Amino acid sequence: MLYLVDTVSVDPSRSDDYLRLVETSGVAIMRDAGATLVSCWSTSRKLGDQVDILLVWSVGDFATWNATRKNLVLDPRWHCYAKEAALLRSGGTRRFYEAAPFSPDAR
């Protein structure tokens, strides 16, 4: 299994809006394209710092990810979602992870 991990930085005043966008649009768009939401975590906005939102998506492998990415590019909903998300975030990273052989999630 391959995990796509997005860490998104948002202003605390926009974190709820970003999470709502992911929940109401992003999850369905990614699912329809071929990825599954594994988890979504957020740092506390009560600290006054930038909020980091951690999204973990799973796909079978890099071949599956390439098909998923193609599906996203061809989906007009993705372009609208990406534009809305870009307006809410101030930065972030995207990384691919594979489970270590001893991890409980390794299959």
Is 43 part of any domain? yes
Q: How confident is the model at residue 96 (pLDDT cuts 50, 70, 90)?
A: very high
Structural domain including 47 reads 2-98
Domain count, the chain: 1
Is 81 part of any domain? yes
Question: Is the pLDDT assigned to residue 28 strictly greater than 80?
Answer: yes
Question: Residue 60 belongs to a domain with what CATH number?
Answer: 3.30.70.100
On the 0-12 / 13-18 / 19+ scale of CB atoms within 10 A, 81 is buried
How many CB atoms are closer than 10 A to CB 58? 17
Reported pTM: 0.91
Is 104 part of any domain? no
Is 79 part of any domain? yes
On the 0-12 / 13-18 / 19+ scale of CB atoms within 10 A, 86 is exposed
Handedness of CA 49, 40, 4, 103 (dihedral sign): positive
Mean pLDDT, residues 43-60 taken together: 94
pLDDT of residue 105: 73
